[in-house]
Amino acid sequence: MNLPIVVTIDGPAGTGKSSAASELAQRLGFDMLDTGAMYRAVALLAIESHIDARDERAIAAAMDRTPLTVDFSSRPPTIALDSRDVHGRIRDADVTQIVSLIASHHEVRVRLVRAQREVAAQHERLITEGRDQGSVVFPDATVRIWLDARPEVRAHRRCEELRARGELVDESRVLAEIIARDASDRGRSEGPLRKPVGADSIDTSGLSFAAVVDELERLVRRRLHETDVGCGCGGPA
Ligand code: DC
């Protein structure tokens, strides 16, 4: 039997992390955990429970009452609050607006870090994507990757996504929002957004989506080969 493998992918918003991690997971036959979606689900829980986003204790109490689950039987996996699929709702603007504040709460992070480690314990091969996966949650992961891109490139990508969904966008506003969210994610005391010490990094600024996934696949296969873990995922080492 192969040893459990955890691959972490961290980086700021708009680097294409989620889509690239999802495609990589498909290629390698790994499961994929989108931890940003978990923070977004907690933000939605606060909104729906009419809890002020600054009220850490009330949010923690609501989390303790409400099961948050990830359904790995769908691709990509979906997220549920109290068995209700909220996958489509958690990308809405009201959630995006408060999620960084929600993610700065110690009581929220403690609970989600625990939940993420529980998920990893149940999956033999997991790619987990977020901000603190390689630095805080899985510092001993088999492979740790940091994805980054220039803010202007990230803003442009986010606008293309929104346009594809039929939304009207103001690119300079999206850029300002991305810079503000990065600053908030970098500045918080717990699980701040930063490159994990010793992680491999890829700058995706000049790369197409396919090139990012190719680069990730090459890197993961090489690291697994070097560490002699083997991924049992076919293809070249
Ligand atoms: O990747 P995303 O945009 O869906 O993440 C939503 C928010 O959650 C973002 O403000 C950063 C935060 N987050 C975090 O603090 N730690 C993680 N592991 C994942 C996301």
pLDDT in tens, the chain (237 residues): 466 899 999 999 888 899 999 999 999 999 999 999 999 999 999 999 999 999 999 999 999 999 999 999 888 899 999 999 999 999 998 999 999 899 999 999 999 999 999 999 999 999 999 999 999 999 999 999 999 999 999 999 989 988 998 988 999 999 998 898 888 888 888 888 889 999 999 999 999 999 999 999 999 999 998 887 666 666 655
Burial call 111-135: b when 16+ CB within 10 Å, e when fewer: bbbebbeebbeebebbbbbbbbbbb
- Could you tell me the domains of the chain? 5-217 (3.40.50.300)
Cα distance between residue 100 and residue 73, in whole Å: 28
Q: Is the minimum distance from the CB of 79 to ligand 1 under 6 angstroms?
A: no
- Which of ligand 1's atoms lies nearest the C-alpha of 40? 6
Give the per-residue pLDDT at 20. Answer: 94
Q: Is the minimum distance from the CB of 13 to ligand 1 under 6 angstroms?
A: yes
Please answer whether residues 131 and 185 qualify as being in contact, where contact means their C-beta atoms are separated by less than 8 angstroms.
yes
Tell me the CA–centroid distance for residue 29 and ligand 1, in Å: 24
Q: Is the minimum distance from the CB of 181 to ligand 1 under 6 angstroms?
A: yes
Give the per-residue pLDDT at 233. Answer: 67
Phi, psi dihedrals of residue 56, rounded to the nearest 5°: -60, -45
The pTM is what?
A: 0.92
Q: Is the minimum distance from the CB of 6 to ligand 1 under 6 angstroms?
A: no
* CA angle 90–92–96, rounded 5-degree value: 80
Closest CA to 69 of 52, 87, 88, 82: 82
Give the per-residue pLDDT at 87. Answer: 93
- Atom 4 in ligand 1: which residue has the minimum CA distance? 36
Cα distance between residue 81 and residue 188, in whole Å: 26
Q: Is the minimum distance from the CB of 104 to ligand 1 under 6 angstroms?
A: no
Give the per-residue pLDDT at 231. Answer: 62
Q: Is the minimum distance from the CB of 138 to ligand 1 under 6 angstroms?
A: no
